Structure 1
Amino acid sequence: MYGIIEGISINEYIATWNNIIANCSYDNTYKMAWAKALVELCVLNTDLKDKSINQYNSKETITFTFEEIAELYLKYYWNQTIYFDLVQGSNLTKLPVIIQHVKKLINEYKLIAGNNPKKYEKIDFKALGLEKSYKNTIKKISNVLPENVAWRFKKLNKNTYEIYELNREKRTVSFKLEDSMILNKYSDLMFQIINYRWTQMLEGFNLSPRISSKVKVSDQSEIKRNSLNKFKKFLDCEFEDENRYCFYSNEELSDGLTSIDHVIPWSFMYSDDIWNLVYCNRCINSSKSNKTPAENTIEKLEDRNILLLKKLENSIYSTSKITKELNLAIKKDYVRKFWIASKG
């Protein structure tokens, strides 16, 4: 029997996974991390690459431990949290337990490495003296998995779908070899389905923009930030004496201490917008981290934007795209709206 997903003919096993993912109940994103980890483990298993779908023993199985799954949980949640601090559950007063463990490790990392975020895959926890904390985090996450998500994922509308076998005593998940090969074969499609559903969940938990882009980029090998140098000629129009001044302290800035800052944190906006960019002292920028600005800072930014728009409209940049974007942002009250949203 075959199902159809976006015009692609697939077998019944994948259709069952799609049905579970699309219709599962949830109060956090654990189920999507679970699904993604199982598919990724099937992709990473080199034995599956050496077999064709017709060269298997029907009794053969492939088994993954909860610790292997937990390590991927840590990777997913680390990357989504350290860069974007995405809320992963509906209870705003109490974080999901796994997220608590991940954030604790992130905080330990920041005490040693500073506030500059880094992809999970590029961190050497042993070299940082965090190997013990890292292993403890994996263990704690693995202990949460059998409590609910491991067996609940298979249940939908009072039905249980035997898409894998659980062994709580051995702390393992086993697949028929054929099924794991199917997940491997359709992994690209599965990752799209999972990320789409994960994004839907996150949109219900978060007010921040560009959720889909944040989920997608978290899977990439590197999260790059664009150069802000192209905004300098526009920001310079604010000042009449050809000097630059720190938005926060009003001090004159030397070239060596000048940086451009996102007033509403980049981790929330995930975009570079003239109405949210200011000159500031490099030291202040480094110390700000991802803190939500106070209301008086927002009021100051609103005043700055009105002034900057007047200056741009009387400059050679009067018809530029940047000037039009700033004008629209003022009319739509973007600064205050996004600031309120960033407060959660």
Structure 2
Amino acid sequence: MKGKTMAGYDLKEGFYIKQQLSEDKLWSIFSGMFSNKVSHDTSYKYGFFKSILDSLYNADDNLVLTFDQLFYKFTEIYWNLVLKHHLRQKAKTKDGRETALERILKDSLHRQEIIADVSFEALADDLKVSICHKVKMKCKENVVGALFRDSDDTLYSFSKKSEYIQLNPLVYAFMTKHKKILEKMNYFEWAKYLEKVNEESSTKNLLNNLDSITLRSDLSIYRKILFEEFEEHECFYCGKELKPGEIHVDHFIPWSFIKDDNLWNMVLSCPQCNLKKSDRLTPGVYVENLIQRNDMIIEQNASQISSSYKNEKLRLIYYWAKCNGYHEIWTPGKKGYTIEKV
């Protein structure tokens, strides 16, 4: 690796510094990442950091995330920010020139004659892959090394040639424990930046938009897989028989925490249980029930479950959700339900 005096965006690879890091030191590092001392020509470091946070639980056993994984998230984020919310990603220049990412997305929209407000998830798979590849090839050159350097070379190691980042285990443990706080810090500074480079009328409800830009509304594919392929015909929570037309798909660990759609975290429920559970956790026994369910899916068709999934990781994510403020435990019962604090 070149000397530390080299600007982050110029780096072809980088290696996190192996050192003992106290929580105070880690807070200091992350506070520095979000401070006004760090330069931001575009919003992309905020988007890339969100891509990492949203992908934490998809890292493999070596805490590696590929550029393909990260820039899929990244593209989805900016598809909505640029094309749905019409937000500029850098200050307006005299010649009105947009960033390369904005040009890629808008060109894809026009070339494919896509309806302007269509969601990224609704695009054909081959088109999504093509757009993500273009975004990756353009954006990996600057944002990966820049965020690495902003974290004082502690957040991850990376290689642009091999197209991966490897998270620092100490930092990974910190991020999983404080994910929601780090998310809010990122959103707050991101929103301030976007407000600065956009007109006021474009930035209404900006924090809510940032929080929901990767929310997928169509979960029917998971309903079809679980109900038809794996014959789950009873509510995961109360055990009642599921009736066609009244089958809800629920994120067992709330979507607001995990920010991802994975089959290992999806269960079928009756409308009553899904609505009453809302954004809460359930008692630990349901974690073990879900592990048994996932083992059954893996045994029948392993390709349906992400290769990064591990039973122990699910237990840890449940624990990390509690650490991040999900303290209400919802328990279904024959005569209703109970909610308790933990």
Q: What's the TM-score, normalizing by structure 2?
A: 0.50
User: How many corresponding residue pairs?
Assistant: 193
- Residue of structure 2 in register with 1:151 after alignment: 145
Are positions 1:96 and 2:110 aligned together?
Answer: no
- Deviation digits for residues 202-236 of structure 1, max 9, x if unmatched? 1111113362613422432379xxxxxxxxxxxxx
CA distance in 1, matches of 2:177, 2:200: 34
- Deviation digits for residues 265-324 of structure 1, max 9, x if unmatched? xxxxxxxxxxxxxxxxxxxxxxxxxxxxxxxxxxxxxxxxxxxxxxxxxxxxxxxxxxxx
- Residue of structure 2 in register with 1:27 after alignment: 41
TM-superposed CA distance for 1:40, in Å, is 1.3
CA distance in 2, matches of 1:106, 1:192: 31
CA distance in 1, matches of 2:85, 2:199: 12
- Residue of structure 1 in register with 2:211 after alignment: 219
CA distance in 2, matches of 1:212, 1:222: 21
CA distance in 2, matches of 1:35, 1:216: 17
Amino acid at match of 1:184: T
Q: Which moved more, 1:139-148 or 1:195-204?
A: 139-148
Are positions 1:61 and 2:62 aligned together?
Answer: yes
TM-superposed CA distance for 1:31, in Å, is 0.8
Are positions 1:41 and 2:35 aligned together?
Answer: no
CA distance in 2, matches of 1:2, 1:162: 9
Amino acid at match of 1:95: E
- Please state whether the residue corresponding to 1:70 is helix, strand or coil: helix
- Deviation digits for residues 92-111 of structure 1, max 9, x if unmatched? 322111121122223346x2
CA distance in 1, matches of 2:26, 2:141: 25
TM-superposed CA distance for 1:155, in Å, is 2.8
CA distance in 1, matches of 2:143, 2:106: 20
TM-superposed CA distance for 1:138, in Å, is 1.0
Contact kept in structure 2, 1:80 and 1:215, CA below 8 Å = no
CA distance in 1, matches of 2:130, 2:68: 11
TM-superposed CA distance for 1:164, in Å, is 1.0
Contact kept in structure 2, 1:63 and 1:175, CA below 8 Å = yes
- Residue of structure 1 in register with 2:81 after alignment: 80
- Please state whether the residue corresponding to 1:188 is helix, strand or coil: helix
Identity of aligned residues (%): 15
User: Which residues of 2 match residues 293-332 of structure 1 at below 5 A?
Assistant: none
TM-superposed CA distance for 1:153, in Å, is 1.7
Structure number with greater Rg is 1
TM-superposed CA distance for 1:88, in Å, is 0.4
- Residue of structure 1 in register with 2:124 after alignment: 125
- Please state whether the residue corresponding to 2:73 is helix, strand or coil: helix
User: Which residues of 2 match residues 1-344 of structure 1 at below 5 A?
Assistant: 11-23=24-36, 24-42=38-56, 44-45=57-58, 61-92=62-93, 93-108=96-111, 111-112=113-114, 114-115=115-116, 117-121=117-121, 123-126=122-125, 131=126, 133-156=127-150, 160-209=152-201, 211=203, 213-220=205-212, 221=215
Amino acid at match of 1:20: M
Contact kept in structure 1, 2:154 and 2:168, CA below 8 Å = no
CA distance in 1, matches of 2:181, 2:83: 27
Amino acid at match of 1:94: R
User: Unaligned 5+ residue runs, structure 1?
Assistant: 4-9, 48-59, 224-344
- Deviation digits for residues 45-96 of structure 1, max 9, x if unmatched? 277xxxxxxxxxxxx7311111111111111111112222000012432211
- Please state whether the residue corresponding to 2:65 is helix, strand or coil: strand
TM-superposed CA distance for 1:28, in Å, is 0.6
- Residue of structure 2 in register with 1:241 after alignment: none
Q: Over aligned residue pairs, what C-alpha RMSD do you find?
A: 2.8
TM-superposed CA distance for 1:20, in Å, is 1.0
- Please state whether the residue corresponding to 1:39 is helix, strand or coil: helix
TM-superposed CA distance for 1:2, in Å, is 9.2
CA distance in 1, matches of 2:62, 2:29: 19
Amino acid at match of 1:29: S
CA distance in 1, matches of 2:163, 2:216: 32
Contact kept in structure 2, 1:61 and 1:176, CA below 8 Å = no
Quickly say closer, same or farther: Cα 1:70–1:46, change in 2 above 3 A.
closer
- Please state whether the residue corresponding to 1:89 is helix, strand or coil: coil
Amino acid at match of 1:13: L
- Please state whether the residue corresponding to 2:186 is helix, strand or coil: helix
CA distance in 2, matches of 1:94, 1:118: 24
Amino acid at match of 1:182: F
TM-superposed CA distance for 1:120, in Å, is 2.6
TM-superposed CA distance for 1:160, in Å, is 3.6
CA distance in 2, matches of 1:155, 1:191: 19
Quickly say closer, same or farther: Cα 1:203–1:136, change in 2 above 3 A.
same
TM-superposed CA distance for 1:189, in Å, is 0.8
CA distance in 2, matches of 1:14, 1:61: 24
